[in-house]
A and B are shown apart, each in its own frame.
Chain A
Amino acid sequence: MDLLLQYLANGIVTGSTYVLVAVGLTLIFGILGVVNFAHGEFYMIGGYAGILAINVMHLAVLPAILLVLAVAACVGLGAEVILHRPMKNRDATSSIVSSFGLAVALQNAALIVMGPQPQRLNLDASKMPLLSDLPTEIGPVFLPHQRMLIPLTTVVLIAALYVVLRYTWTGRSLRAMAQHATVARLCGVHVERVALVTFATGAALAGIAGMLMSSVFLVYPIVGNMIALKAFTVVILGGMGNVAGAAGAGILLGVIESLTSAYISNSMRDIVGFVIVIGVLLLRPNGLFGKAVERS
């Protein structure tokens, strides 16, 4: 029983990063209709930006997080210019190939610049104000500050995203675009700006996930491959374009993976998510909570 609680906690930690990556992915798909296969590379770049900020520049945790947010958001803006702007008037499948190409280019550029060896981010979360007061043992569950930081940051960022989407004009225009792009444009929504904001937000969330995870696991040039696949799994389970669904499904996937590696086999850990997603797509081709497409 005590072990089960520990596995659940570990699952929630990894699940939180899936949520951060998947929410960005689902926003970009829901609002712009772009299927971004380069989303895992935002995570990878976030990890390396974190290493730059903390291992090299020796910044404190909060300024480092801000720096990573800024770097990842800039990468997101660049990705919008490459993936979305020239493809606007084409069918959605064009972005599949070009974002796949961007992912391949970024991964291999990272391989040449950073080298193939995995690197660790030396983040010492136990010295952070506020966080250091929290106990690392909650009942039978042991959770170091590094790991604790991940779900806490996720909650803060997703709550902030929710407030922005719900109560600001930018958020309203984002939601308007998601509901009906043409009508939103007619009502005066600045489409170019919405596209930039969406990509920057998605990339920033994934970048933070990459930074936080690199202090627990390691970052390496092709780390984004697996993360992007996990994020797609989550997005499909949660319904393409559904932010709340992605948040729920992300935690769920993290917990399922943690329990699989604990009770079945560690080598099944990465496969179980794909098996679930192929199964779900076979039974419900539009995802677990997806809406049926209109027939032509």
Chain B
Amino acid sequence: MKKYIAALASVALLATAPLGLGGYEISVLLMILFYVILALGLDLVTGYCGQFSFATGAFYGIGAYTAAIMNRDLGTSIWLHLPAGAIVAGSFGLMLGIPALRLTGHFLAIVTIAFQTIMYLAISQWTSFTGGQVGLSLRGTDPLRIFGIELFELGTLKSYYWMTLAVTASCVLIAWRLVNSRLGREWIAIRDDETLASAVGLNTTFGKLTAFVAYAALAGIAGVLTAHSLRGVTPDDFTIWISATVVAMMVLGGRGTFVGPIIGAILLALLPEFLGRYAEYKMVIYGVVLVVGMTFVPEGLVGRFRRSTAR
């Protein structure tokens, strides 16, 4: 019960936040929401299902470029891009999940890094389709219309923020339902002992593939939201350093916990704002967070907190 009240309170707080904030603060909040989706998605596949992935940036980029390319060629709006981005990124997730069936640990990590690199090379060099290094720009976001009646308009930053908050809250809810379903427990079983999981009759193939697809689809949704928020996409927004940032968020907060990656995303996304003129050091700090976190608190902040309160 406490959990639901806390969740509702934080959504309510976030929903009323823009009323008292300026444009810059709202963009920071938007960025935090994108990272919450990314870190939570990665937690599904790495934290719960135990499969490494350093390709978050690639799926994020696939979602963003799906939105940008559909917007350019078909003139569609964000309401179609959200499901489309999730589906396209999810299909690529399935593609990456297939090698994951046979690979574990370091081999899988290498394949995901290779996938991330190939994706980056593809979007930065296939100029006729993706705009190359220059990237693509998106037209302004259309209001939501049903039968010609305008339900919700997204022209302003605040309304875009509320829409993003609603989408993020739905993603968190979906992830929460997945983790607490039979499927989520299958993921945990695969992480803890794959041989045992298949020996008691679990379909580990299905389990791993669904984890990869859920992860990729969530990253794709974050990509669509980001593309529309920035009104454009460039390849350098979707490098391996995005993947590194998201891994750092998950590790800092706590792998395999639900609130951990959310807290990690909030902390590390806010960090550059507090660094001021030292903001250029943020990637160095993320790297150090990964090393120090993995060495001294491998279970993450939330995991450490739970262990100390459990005693």
Contact = CB atoms under 8 A, between A and B. Distances in A.
Interface of A: 29, 35, 37, 82-83, 86-87, 90, 92-94, 96-98, 100-109, 111-112, 225-226, 229, 232-233, 236, 240, 267, 270-271, 274, 277-278, 281-282, 285-287, 295-296
Contacts of A83: 291
B106 A295 contact: no
A136 to B, nearest CB: 34
B117 A105 contact: no
A102 B114 contact: no
Given A96-B52, A109-B284, 4 more contacts: A98-B291, A270-B121, A277-B111, A281-B107
Interface bin, chain B: 35 or more
Contacts of B251: 97
A204 B284 CA distance: 24
A106 B107 contact: no
10 contacts: A87-B295, A97-B290, A97-B294, A101-B289, A101-B290, A105-B287, A111-B283, A112-B280, A229-B114, A267-B121
Contacts of A87: 294-295
B163 interface: no
A108 B291 contact: no
A206 B14 CA distance: 49
Interface string B156-169: 00000000000000
Contacts, number: 123
Contacts of B291: 82-83, 98, 101-102, 105
Nearest to A97: B294
Interface in B254-311: 280-281, 283-284, 286-291, 293-296, 298
A274 B118 contact: yes
B31 interface: no
Main secondary structure of the interface of B (DSSP, over half): helix
A237 B248 CA distance: 30
B113 interface: yes
B248 A101 contact: yes
Contacts of A240: 106
A287 B288 CA distance: 31
Interface in B82-120: 98-99, 102-103, 105-107, 109-111, 113-115, 117-118
Contacts of A104: 241, 244, 283-284, 286-287, 290
A225 B240 contact: yes
Interface in B222-253: 240-241, 244, 247-248, 251
Interface in B20-79: 52, 54
Contact of B287 (A101, A232, A281, A287): A101
